[in-house]
Chain A
Amino acid sequence: MYFFGGVALLFIVAPVLNMFFSTELKGIFDAARDTQVKSSISLTLGVSLVATIICAVFAVPLAYIIARKTFRFKNILLGIVNIPIIIPHSAAGIALLGLVSRDTMVGQLAGKIGLSFVDSPLGIGVAMAYVSLPFLILSAISGFSEVPERLEQAAQNLGASKTKVFFRISLPLAKKSVFTGMVLMFSRGISEFGAVIMLAYYPTITPILIYDRFTSFGLAYAKPVAAIFIVICLVVFLFFYLLTNRKSK
């Protein structure tokens, strides 16, 4: 039992540890000072953060409706929410490109107000959001489902409208799950490659930069950037994890 479990754990940890031990410290410091690396990291983190916050405004009410209401085709709706998880991300990127590229109606409409989905932070955000949104919705659904409906009825009986019930009872009680969902969405967003590369090779986010360095200069040049990015992902995840647990206390 322990042996098999250990193998699974080793499978996860080994590549990461190997990369740290086989990458020269000097290479990591050089990469950390590299302007292109620094700007790609801040772009990746920034776009994913903004995409997560904007999506939360729409996804949280959707999750609440799915958790609370009983209606026909609810399972189909849940299936639709899961589509971005099921399909290959490169295919998701192609599908998005087909919808928002410059020669489509959406692309042309966006162009009229000076926006472009292709090779722009907007395109990066759309691609990141598309593949990571289900994590937020599913986590929020589970959070809202755990809030006893009885508490919402009690609030209504005490004079709260449905909107006030949502903001004063349901959302505060489901906040841990909603926040966890946002962290998962953000984390999934910053590591996205397949969908983003279809929509926006430039400006370069870090996963694409790693790929670019690898194909142009080889493994030795890609490794330091990958190592830095892994550390950043872990630190960000740890930070939010601790914040979530502190909030729930």
Chain B
Amino acid sequence: MLKLQNISVRLKDFNLEDINLEIKKGQYHVLLGPSGSGKTVLLNTVAGFHKPESGKILLNNTDISAFPPEKRNLSLLFQDLALFPHLNVYENLAFPLKMKNLGKPETEQRVDKYLGLTEISHLKFRDISKLSGGERQRVALARILVAESGLLLLDEPFSAIDTQLKLSFKKLLRKISASGVTIIHVTHDLEESINLADSISVIENGKIIQSGPIHDVLNNPVNSFIASFTGQRNYYNCSGIVTEGDSHFAVIDAEGAKIKIEISPPDNSEHEGIIIDSNNIIISDSEIKSSARNNFKAKVESIFRTRQHYEIEVDIGIKLWINITAQSFVSLNLVEGAEVYICFKASEVKIV
């Protein structure tokens, strides 16, 4: 469907470097990255508003790199929606069809279809200025759907709507995606990505750092940026790996000391750091003997309640985050400052 081959873009104060990406027909792909990472620039480049210095953009095997925006046949939902204020809802939706010189009956039929799909038929002749935030979002989405381009580019589509509307909008996007439309969705929100994406690319400083099926990227981050950005809090730079007998240890520089974490035998490639999954660390109020190779005495630094669980920050020379259920939290009677024991298996330590 869409292939980006070695795309580089030079702007006044920002560059996109050697972007390679392939998105298959019907795929829901999320471009995840912090503000200023180049997500929107990449989307605008695909849409034709920035000219790549090098590389190719192939849409259905046609090189569209030199096409003007109006000839690219893809639809972009701008972050600020860009609804035409001098046209009403119907006229906004009919705009792309008028540009294609579609007849009036067909235009009306197509507009009605997408007003129905986005559940805003009752707003058909309303002025844009009289719409609420959620309604405007739906009108903007309906307007790009009506063109039936087959490829939707969504730039931070949830940035201007509240939590409740987000949920219904997510459902709508899933429905559209299930109908076979290819979607590229730009966001800085990990939860959005997990909710919607089939595949994901993480972008930082104008470069795609990792790309692949969502669970692969979340479970196997290739570097510290992705680890932290995808919610892995226990990421530590590793100053070296030492072997003592049959055991292998990652050495972590703590303040004034070195902490050794036992790991599975590493391969020979370069290692930047380690990740210890917050869900796979056991916390106890007394020392326990187990098969786990990493055992530490720790002090509870802070406790945070979230919707799903409790997050406990403990100090073992380095700060470590542990997720436990509400039941475990109550039975352990944890308080800040308490002394606890923690353990985790060497095989639970990911080397990245």
Secondary structure type dominating chain B contacts: loop
Does residue B245 face the partner (Cβ distance < 8 Å to A)? no
Bound: A154/B86 CA distance, A: 14
Q: Are A151 and B70 in contact (CB under 8 A)?
A: no
Find the residue from A155, A157, A161 having the highest chain B CB count within 10 A: A157
Does residue A150 face the partner (Cβ distance < 8 Å to B)? yes
**B residues within 8 A CB of A154?**
76, 78, 82, 84
Q: Are A159 and B147 in contact (CB under 8 A)?
A: yes
Secondary structure type dominating chain A contacts: helix
Residue from the list A156, A158, A161, A172 in contact with B147, Cβ < 8 A: A158
**B residues within 8 A CB of A160?**
70, 95, 99
Residue from the list A157, A168, A172, A173 in contact with B70, Cβ < 8 A: A157
Bound: A62/B226 CA distance, A: 49
**A residues within 8 A CB of B74?**
157
- What 1/0 mask marks residues of chain B from 92 to 114 whose CB sits below 8 Å from any chain A CB? 00011001100000000000000
**B residues within 8 A CB of A168?**
95
Could you tell me which residues of chain A, from 71 to 123, have a CB within 8 Å of some CB in chain B? none
By a beta-carbon cutoff of 8 Å, the part of chain B in contact with chain A is: 47-49, 68-70, 72, 74-76, 78, 80, 82, 84-86, 95-96, 99-100, 143-144, 147
Bound: A164/B70 CA distance, A: 11
Bound: A76/B283 CA distance, A: 73
**A residues within 8 A CB of B68?**
156, 161
Bound: A161/B68 CA distance, A: 9
Residue from the list A148, A155, A172 in contact with B95, Cβ < 8 A: A155
Does residue A233 face the partner (Cβ distance < 8 Å to B)? no
Residue from the list A153, A164, A169, A173 in contact with B78, Cβ < 8 A: A153
Name 26 interchain pairs, CB-CB below 8 A, sorted by A: A148-B82, A150-B78, A150-B80, A151-B82, A151-B84, A151-B85, A153-B78, A153-B82, A154-B76, A154-B78, A154-B82, A154-B84, A156-B48, A156-B70, A157-B47, A157-B69, A157-B72, A158-B96, A159-B70, A159-B99, A159-B147, A160-B70, A161-B68, A164-B99, A168-B95, A169-B84
Q: Are B85 and A173 in contact (CB under 8 A)?
A: yes
Residue from the list B48, B85, B86, B143 in contact with A158, Cβ < 8 A: B143
The minimal Cβ–Cβ distance linking B76 to chain A, given in whole angstroms, is: 5
By a beta-carbon cutoff of 8 Å, the part of chain A in contact with chain B is: 148, 150-151, 153-161, 164, 168-169, 172-173
| Other A-B pairs, 17, CB within 8 Å; known A157-B69, A158-B75 | A153-B49, A153-B82, A154-B78, A155-B95, A156-B48, A157-B47, A157-B48, A157-B70, A157-B72, A158-B99, A158-B143, A158-B144, A159-B147, A160-B70, A161-B68, A172-B86, A173-B85
Assuming the contacts A157-B47, A158-B147, asked whether A150 and B82 have C-beta atoms less than 8 A apart, the reply is yes
The minimal Cβ–Cβ distance linking A157 to chain B, given in whole angstroms, is: 5
Q: Are A156 and B80 in contact (CB under 8 A)?
A: no
Bound: A143/B80 CA distance, A: 21
**A residues within 8 A CB of B99?**
158-160, 164
Bound: A164/B75 CA distance, A: 18
Bound: A172/B86 CA distance, A: 8
Q: Are A157 and B76 in contact (CB under 8 A)?
A: yes
Q: Which residue of chain A is the closest to B140 with respect to CB atoms? A: A154
